[in-house]
Structure 1
Amino acid sequence: MSSQDTPEENLPAEPPHGTDAEIAPSDALVPDPGLPPHLPRRQDIDERAAKRSERAVAGLFTLSMLATIGFIAGFVAIDVDKIIYVWPIGHISALNFTLGCTLGIALFAIGAGAVHWARTLMSDEEVVDERHPIEAPPEVRQRVIQDFRKGAGESQFGRRKLIRNTMFGALALVPLSGVVLLRDLGPLPGDKLRHTLWAKGKLLINQNTNEPMKPSDITVGSLTFAKPDGLEETAEDFQEQIAKAALMIVRLEPEDIKDKRELEWGHEGIVAFSKICTHVGCPISLYEQQTHHVLCPCHQSTFDLADGARVIFGPAGHALPQLRISVNSDGYLEALGDFTEPVGPSFWERG
């Protein structure tokens, strides 16, 4: 039988009006029931319960302080190579385990104390505030101030001095963990930044030929790189030492040298300056013969070698340090001491 022949009694009947099957209009939805009635907590009506909560919160903050002290003590006292067995983890570093546990307890105790304080002692009454324009009228601003003062009073921050003081102590001690970790970034430099391998009597060795240098080896307008005698490229600390001791040698006409000290610290117009740029420590290698300028290729700091290697352009903060040189009895160029100031970039305690 085709669908056109289907009798009307076999078609699904329409739901009667007024039944649950009919979709209700939007204005017939369940109304907002509003906030439930506020029920006081035990701490709100029993001061002894409030005191217990206060002691619990203070205890958590105190635990945080003790854990922070334990973090610092463990960092100082435990050997970095000590290994312990912790079930079920296995063999781990005693230092890492101690630092992780103490710092975790310190942070957790502060959070748990704050949550317990908010749930048991601070006001838990919900307040409904209708949305308002961004620019609040004066009466609204005044009400906000009053609400803030009321909330501050209800938090019992001023009354619960034990909580307040222990919270301040916990928050003040926790940042010390980060400060202590900074010490683990590496050994302190001491005075290593202020000294190089140059010393009185050290021969100037040509870095290209690895031979001592004589004044006759250096022509006017040339740029030569030198290292101190005894520093070999096969040395384990070669890169560390050459980064401070690298030297560039130029020969100028004595009458072209403007700085009196530069002339006295050189030999017949031959002057020696640090090769390390005083901006971020890049090696200087570009020399302009006609102007006696050297250029750092990294950030274009420019130094005038005829005027004490002072900065004439770029971000470098001060002139290149000069090494005092002379000629020994064998006719070779030698240093008369170390640099009189630290080489390379500036640092905050630089003299």
Structure 2
Amino acid sequence: MSDDRDPTTSSQETETRKDVSDDHLPGERRSGELAVLDDPFADPGLPPHEHRRQDIDERAAKRSERTVALLFTVSMLATIGFIVAYVAIPIDRIVYIWPIGHISGLNFALGTTLGTALFCIGAGAIHWARTLMSDEERSEERHAVAATPEVKAHVLEEFRKGAEESGIGRRKLVRNTMLGAVALVPLSGVVLLRDLGPLPEDKLRKTAWREGSVIVNENTGEPLRPEDIVVGSLTQAMPDDLDHHDHDFHAQIAKAAVMLVRLEPEDIKDPRSAEWGHEGILCFSKICTHIGCPATLYEQQTHHALCPCHQSTFDLSDGARVLFGPAGHPLPQLRITVNDDGYLAALGDFEEPPGPSFWERG
């Protein structure tokens, strides 16, 4: 079969294909070659900085300054309102607030005033930052975690510039009202400390024991005679003028509860402790001086009283001194005698406060 194509034409086409193959178009790649972008994506950078109205109009800046100062002033007034409400509104006052209904007037007043005080501080700070402080954006290359001296100097210089641009030194109205609001709002927490209870004054140093108080069995309420206390036994007791039905019984018994033990006179090591007892009968506070648990686990052979909470151990034959454990003081001893009716009685109150240590204790 004959080929009708013109040899001259065929040669020209071959030359053309060769030229196209050798001089490929930009962006194309030959077989087996990786594609390489001639123009990588350019960094668009930050958009041009747009000045705020406050940056170019001092009257607008003054309005923003007054707005920030107003918010801080409202915060101060709200804090004062919190303190006034806490003092003036009775705790049992019930008010009707629509649409909530009947609620505690004190809680509503405290929540409203404290919330307003905190909100105005936050709103004032945000408005100050958005309208008066510098808002120009800058980008910096990442650097190693450990800063060089030059970087540290740069950061300090930037901090100085930021403080200067914030206007805290120039805008005294904003600065002073902010300091006043921030200084006053912690008073709300200080006032709430009052809810921890009344000050103890000297209540921790005094108990229900008085001179002549008859010692009664804590379980039966019967007065105790010396013959009721046998060697090797431990009896829990309290003053006779405490009544289980009194409203403050638990507060009083927590300080006045005692335990009686009887030792052979020759087993008592502390002469003062022996003198404060009666015929070998010793009376100690049973309230552990660590955290106030009853230290009434008694070992009659060793004369040791053990607290079950943290294993503080007291030697009742030696003035109830601490032998082991976290307790910091001996158990206070109550000086006792026998009254005209033959009952064991106290000669006064404890010389040392019973129970755990406290701040004012010497």
TM-score, with structure 1 as normaliser? 0.87
Partner of 2:206: 195
Q: How far does residue 279 in structure 1 lie from its aligned partner after superposition? A: 0.5
Q: Tell me the secondary structure at the aligned position of residue 96 of structure 1.
A: helix
> Residue by residue, what CA displacement relative to the aligned partner does 1:160-216 show, whole Å, maximum 9, x if unpaired?
122111111111111111111121233444433222222122211123443221112
Structure 1 pair 102–285 and aligned structure 2 pair: CA distance change class (3 A): same
For residues 74 and 209 of structure 1, what CA distance do their matches in structure 2 show?
A: 49
For residues 230 and 196 of structure 1, what CA distance do their matches in structure 2 show?
A: 12
| Residues 321 and 330 in structure 2, CA contact (< 8 A), matched pair in contact too | yes
> Residue by residue, what CA displacement relative to the aligned partner does 1:10-63 show, whole Å, maximum 9, x if unpaired?
xxxxxxx9xxxxxx9999886442211111112112222222211111111111
For residues 328 and 55 of structure 1, what CA distance do their matches in structure 2 show?
A: 80
Partner of 1:224: 235
Q: Tell me the secondary structure at the aligned position of residue 126 of structure 1.
A: coil
Partner of 2:340: 329
For residues 318 and 301 of structure 2, what CA distance do their matches in structure 1 show?
A: 14
Q: How far does residue 154 in structure 1 lie from its aligned partner after superposition? A: 1.0
Partner of 1:99: 110
Q: Tell me the secondary structure at the aligned position of residue 193 of structure 1.
A: coil
Q: Which residue identity lines up with residue 194 of structure 2 in the other structure?
A: R
> Residue by residue, what CA displacement relative to the aligned partner does 1:105-157 show, whole Å, maximum 9, x if unpaired?
10011001000100011100011121111112222122111111111111111
Partner of 2:94: 83
Gapped runs of 5+ residues in structure 1? 1-16, 18-23
Partner of 1:108: 119
Partner of 2:9: none
Partner of 1:276: 287
Partner of 1:291: 302
Q: Tell me the secondary structure at the aligned position of residue 299 of structure 1.
A: coil
Q: Tell me the secondary structure at the aligned position of residue 179 of structure 1.
A: helix
Specify which of 194, 205, 210 is matched with residue 183 of structure 1: 194
Gapped runs of 5+ residues in structure 2? 1-27, 29-34
Q: How far does residue 255 in structure 1 lie from its aligned partner after superposition? A: 2.9
Q: How far does residue 219 in structure 1 lie from its aligned partner after superposition? A: 2.0
Q: Which residue identity lines up with residue 233 of structure 2 in the other structure?
A: S
Partner of 1:309: 320
Q: How far does residue 236 in structure 1 lie from its aligned partner after superposition? A: 4.5
Q: Is 1:60 matched up with 2:74? A: no
Q: How far does residue 232 in structure 1 lie from its aligned partner after superposition? A: 4.1
Structure 1 pair 141–67 and aligned structure 2 pair: CA distance change class (3 A): same
Identical-residue share of aligned pairs (%) = 73
Partner of 2:61: 50
Specify which of 182, 207, 210 is matched with residue 218 of structure 2: 207
Specify which of 136, 152, 162 is matched with residue 141 of structure 1: 152
For residues 277 and 207 of structure 1, what CA distance do their matches in structure 2 show?
A: 17
Partner of 2:8: none
For residues 77 and 238 of structure 1, what CA distance do their matches in structure 2 show?
A: 31
Q: How far does residue 291 in structure 1 lie from its aligned partner after superposition? A: 2.3
Q: Which residue identity lines up with residue 81 of structure 1 in the other structure?
A: D
Structure 1 pair 195–28 and aligned structure 2 pair: CA distance change class (3 A): farther
RMSD of aligned C-alpha atoms? Answer: 2.1
Q: Tell me the secondary structure at the aligned position of residue 317 of structure 2.
A: coil
Q: Which residue identity lines up with residue 102 of structure 2 in the other structure?
A: H
Q: Tell me the secondary structure at the aligned position of residue 318 of structure 2.
A: coil
For residues 25 and 342 of structure 1, what CA distance do their matches in structure 2 show?
A: 89
Structure 1 pair 239–172 and aligned structure 2 pair: CA distance change class (3 A): same
For residues 339 and 165 of structure 1, what CA distance do their matches in structure 2 show?
A: 55
Q: Tell me the secondary structure at the aligned position of residue 250 of structure 1.
A: strand
Partner of 1:251: 262
TM-score, with structure 2 as normaliser? 0.85
Q: Which residue identity lines up with residue 77 of structure 1 in the other structure?
A: A
Superposition pairs of residues 145-156 of structure 1, within 5 angstroms:
145-156=156-167
Q: Tell me the secondary structure at the aligned position of residue 71 of structure 1.
A: helix
Q: Which residue identity lines up with residue 268 of structure 2 in the other structure?
A: I
Partner of 2:275: 264
For residues 36 and 112 of structure 2, what CA distance do their matches in structure 1 show?
A: 59
Q: How far does residue 234 in structure 1 lie from its aligned partner after superposition? A: 4.7
For residues 298 and 193 of structure 1, what CA distance do their matches in structure 2 show?
A: 22
| Residues 231 and 263 in structure 2, CA contact (< 8 A), matched pair in contact too | yes
Q: How far does residue 323 in structure 1 lie from its aligned partner after superposition? A: 0.8
Q: Which residue identity lines up with residue 135 of structure 2 in the other structure?
A: D
Q: Which residue identity lines up with residue 106 of structure 1 in the other structure?
A: A
Q: Which residue identity lines up with residue 48 of structure 2 in the other structure?
A: P
Partner of 1:119: 130
For residues 296 and 250 of structure 1, what CA distance do their matches in structure 2 show?
A: 16
Structure 1 pair 327–82 and aligned structure 2 pair: CA distance change class (3 A): same
| Residues 221 and 240 in structure 2, CA contact (< 8 A), matched pair in contact too | no
Which is higher, the Rg of structure 1 or of structure 2? 2
